[in-house]
Amino acid sequence: MTPFQFCRLRPCAVLSVLALSVACTPPSQQDLESAQALSELGESFNDVRLEQQQLQDQVDALKFVLARQDSVIRTLANLAGVQVPR
């Protein structure tokens, strides 16, 4: 290896060692707090999604009940000869 090639590889080696040393450092308290906050945020989003699904199920059930009541009312009105507006 010539001195010129060695000089070209030196910055790369220094940067590699620096990157490895930074990557191997233990997480700081701020990193841990951020990770905890992101985890809690994910759990909160999941809770909101589950609650939204429950509400949607209730809305669907109410639509079914409403449609059934509407058809019962229309049937009774038809039997009684009463006009029901649509």
Q: Tell me the residue range of the domain where 60 lies.
A: 50-86
Let me know if residue 41 belongs to a domain. Answer: no
In a domain, 20, yes or no: no
Give the Å distances, CA to CA, from 69 to 1, 31, 57, 64, 86.
90, 57, 18, 9, 14
Classify residue 79: in a domain, yes or no.
yes
Please state the domain count of the chain. 1
26 is a domain residue: no
pLDDT on residue 15: 76
**What is the predicted pLDDT for the residue at 14?**
75
pLDDT at position 9 is: 66
Sole residue written with tokens 């945020």: 41
Q: Would 75 be classed as within a structural domain? A: yes
The answer to whether the beta carbons of residues 59 and 52 sit under 8 Å apart is no
Q: What does pTM read for this prediction?
A: 0.55
Average pLDDT, consecutive stretches of 10 residues, N- to C-terminus, the chain (86 residues): 59 74 77 93 96 97 95 92 83
C-alpha dist (Å) from residue 22 to 15, 16, 26, 54: 10, 10, 9, 46
